[in-house]
Amino acid sequence: MNYSQTKFSVLVVPIFIFIAIVIVQAFSLYQTKTINFPSKLKEISGIEVDKKGHLWAINDGGDGPYLYRVNELGNIEKKIKINNAKNWDWEDLTQDTFGHFFVGDFGNNGKDRKWMTIYKIENPIDIKSNETSAEIIKFTYPEIVTKEQANVFKDAHYDIEAFIYFKRNLYLFTKNRTNPFDGITRLYKIGDHAANFQAEYMGEYKTCTELKELCWITSAALSPDKSKLVLLDSQRIWLFENWDNDNFFSGDAYQINLGLVTQKEAITFLDDNHVIFTDELYHGVGGNGYVVDLRNVNKIPLKTNSKS
């Protein structure tokens, strides 16, 4: 074998290994695919399952103030307009124990919003027409007093794409824009009713310190029995259990690798053990819903609560 052949082999083998890894990761992810969404829902940013098991979805900013009910084939069965809402940058959905839905309009990609908005609507099961109105919840951060200060903090922790409801409060998980990137998501707390809130800082958790785009927390969900919290990024689920009170980061923490990197933007629980997550359609990749059984995946332990 001459030098050029040896050099070619050295170059080709790593490439084939890389391709094989990508194929395995893609196969692993697509084994869980259950729904292919229509182009109308190519930028799903939040999903939630109502008390009758119907899946609802919202689009990211750019769409109107609409909530979509989707069947198991991915077809849109119902579209509800929230009359007094604007889709500035809708990012996530959650619901309370009565089935009221909360729509999180708190995306801050422009890094210049002082006040964020959450729309609270009645249980969508009870909405007989194709429109409704919302209670309006506003919040800001105690560190931000003016819009100018919002711009000062543009590289910090004041963008959000994930939240949950728990015991009459809403808990918000930040999308980290620090530079240099430190991999931390902060947890804030506000009330669940129409008012203007100063978000209360509750704690923080370091997920990863790779490229920020791979570590951004894009959605959150709490299991129906309130025993599991999941956070989503572009390639992993972060699972938390056995926490103390509402200190979600005080308990056991696990990492679940999902394989192929796609723009994963929304997650929710179907029941106490199954989650469904979605990714946005980008250059022909994604636009699907995937179901994962948390009992049958490899959970990498990261942290253990000494009380558990």
Answer with the residue of higher pLDDT: 246 or 285. Answer: 246
Q: Please report the pLDDT score of residue 61 as a whole number.
A: 84
Say if 6 falls within a structural domain. Answer: no
Q: pTM of the predicted model, to two decimals?
A: 0.88
Q: Please report the pLDDT score of residue 13 as a whole number.
A: 42
Say if 308 falls within a structural domain. Answer: no
Give me the chain's average pLDDT, please: 86
Residues 58-112 have pLDDT tens digits of 999 889 999 999 999 999 999 999 999 999 999 999 999 999 999 999 988 766 7
Say if 249 falls within a structural domain. Answer: yes
| Residue 188: pLDDT over 60 | yes
| pLDDT class of 6 with cuts at 50, 70, 90 | very low
The enclosing domain of 39 has a CATH number of 2.120.10.30
Instruction: For residues 5-13, give the mean pLDDT.
Output: 38
Say if 269 falls within a structural domain. Answer: yes
Q: Please report the pLDDT score of residue 124 as a whole number.
A: 97
Q: Please report the pLDDT score of residue 245 as a whole number.
A: 95
Say if 12 falls within a structural domain. Answer: no
Q: Please report the pLDDT score of residue 180 as a whole number.
A: 84
Say if 144 falls within a structural domain. Answer: yes
| Residue 170: pLDDT over 80 | yes
In terms of residue numbers, what domain contains 140?
32-303
For residue 165, which phi and psi values (nearest 5 degrees)? -105, 140
| pLDDT class of 283 with cuts at 50, 70, 90 | confident
Say if 203 falls within a structural domain. Answer: yes
Say if 37 falls within a structural domain. Answer: yes
| pLDDT class of 12 with cuts at 50, 70, 90 | very low
| Residue 127: pLDDT over 80 | yes
| Residue 261: pLDDT over 80 | yes
The total number of structural domains in the chain stands at 1
